[in-house]
Amino acid sequence: MSAGLNPPVTAARRRLSDRQKDLIQTFAALGSLVALVAAFSLTSGAFLSLGNGMSIGLQVTSIALLGIGATVVIIAGGIDLSVGSVLALAGVVAALCVKELGLPVPLAMLAGIGVGGVCGLVNGLVVTRLKLPPFIATLGMMLIARGLALQLTGARAVSGLGEAFGELGNGALLRLVRVGEDGFPEVLFPGIPYPVLLMAVIALAVAFGLRRSVLGRHVYAVGSNAEAARLSGVAVGRVVTLTYVLSGLLAGLTGCVLMSRLVTAQPNEGVMYELDAIASAVIGGTSLAGGVGTISGTVIGAFVIGILRNGLNMNGVSAFTQQIIIGLVILLTVWIDQLRNRR
């Protein structure tokens, strides 16, 4: 058994490895992000300011949190259409726990996140045990969760939740405020908003988990080839279920953050957010065929969508036109991605 037994792998060597492709994809998205920032800075004076940066950060948070969940689900070969509804249900439950049951805010929010997790668990079990296609399973959950949120609230917003309820969405770490000579508070440094902090921590944790943990490796393996993973002893059903649970938990958290920002629970919040989540993952290079995707890419994808919205707003582009533009961006990015992967 010596050299010459096997054919040379020259053809393979010339092709880009998947890791290199991921890298290119990430940088391509990053490049378009930088281009967007540059373009909007030129067209709108108010775009490049700390205040606007802050509001972009907050806007992006919800897309990114949902996008992280969507990425993990999609890498494992699934799809989760229910997150927009689940976040509404979770936020409503948290608010009702405060208002009706008088629970302390942190406990109420944990209950809300827990409801999100349960919705995810149901999604996962329907997919793995009843063997329904993920599209259908989560479509069902999308309607059920929205219906529950409307039912629980009688389709009315829940308000009068108290200041503590708004802390998560509106508070910030390291916020420096000085009471000025005129008696009005003066903000020296707006601080890092809690939602942004939360997003950063969760993004890092999930990225680390995907890259380094056994479970993360199994997620990629299941998405790449579920049968091969099963025949290698991977508990495919458990792995898939866990991805939906994670997506549900993150939807629950997003719901709490969003409702907290408004200090009002809206059962109609989050309609179509699942599509933003999926779009951010796809723009970030996650393949809907499964087995491929990164969290860093998704976060960049979320920023692309957030900045596009914000910048277009500042330039006075109508909401309708914005939808058209974002739709085109999604088509363009995925098309470029496919061109790159085609051989």
Partner 1 sequence: MLDGADDAAASGGLATGAPEGTSPLLALSGIAKEFPGVRALSGVDFDLRRGEVHAVCGENGAGKSTLMKIISGVQAPSAGRIVYKGVERRFASPLEAEAAGIAMIHQELNLVAHLTVAENIFLGREPRRGFLVDRRALRDGARACLDRLGAGIDPDTLVRDLSVAQCQLVEIAKALSLKAELLIMDEPTSSLTEQEARRLFQVIRDLKAAGAGIVYISHRLDEMREIVDRVTVLRDGRHVSTDAFAAVTLDAIVARMVGRALDEKFPERTSVPTGHVILEAAGLTRAGAFRDVSFTLRRGEILGFAGLMGAGRTEVARAIFGADPLEAGSLAIEGRSLTIRDPRDAIAAGIAYLSEDRKAQGLAVKMPVDANLTLANLGAVANRLGLIDAGRHAAAAQGFVDRLEIRTPSLGQPVRLLSGGNQQKIIIGKWLFRDAKVMLFDEPTRGIDVGAKLAIYTIMDRLAARGIGVVLISSELPEILGMTDRVAVFHRGRLVRILDTARTDQEEIMHYASGFGTA
For partner 1, the binding residues (CB under 8 A) are 1, 4-15, 17-19, 212-215, 217-218, 220-221, 224-225, 227-235, 291-292
Cβ-based nearer residue to partner 1, 4 or 185: 4
Q: What backbone torsions phi and psi does residue 190 show, to the nearest 5 degrees?
A: -70, -10
Q: How far is the CB of 118 from partner 1 (least distance, A)?
A: 24
Q: Minimum distance between the CB of residue 253 and partner 1, rounded to whole angstroms?
A: 23
* Residue closer to partner 1 (CB basis): 1 or 174: 1
Residue given tokens 């970030």 in the structure block = 284
**Closest separation in Å from C-beta 23 to partner 1:** 11
Which two tokens mark 259?
Answer: 């409702």
Tally of CB atoms within 10 A around 13? 8
- Cα atoms found within 13 Å of the Cα of residue 117, Cβ hemisphere only: 9
Gap between the Cα atoms of 273 and 253, Å rounded: 14
Question: Based on CB atoms, which residue is closest to partner 1, 156 or 238?
Answer: 238
**What's the CA gap between 108 and 102, in Å, rounded?**
9
Orientation of helix 236-262 relative to helix 50-75, angle to 10°: 160
Instruction: Write down the least CB distance from residue 254 to partner 1, Å.
Output: 26
CB of 16 to partner 1, least distance (A): 10
**Which CB atom, from 270 or from 285, has the smaller least distance to partner 1?**
285
Nearest approach, Cβ of 17 to partner 1 (angstroms)? 5
**Of residues 60 and 292, the one with the C-beta less far from partner 1:** 292
Shortest CA distance to 91 belongs to which of 213, 215, 265, 342? 265
Comparison of 97 and 221: residue with beta carbon closer to partner 1: 221
Buried b (16+ CB within 10 A) or exposed e, 71-98: bbbbbbbbbbbbbbbbbbbbbbbbbbbb
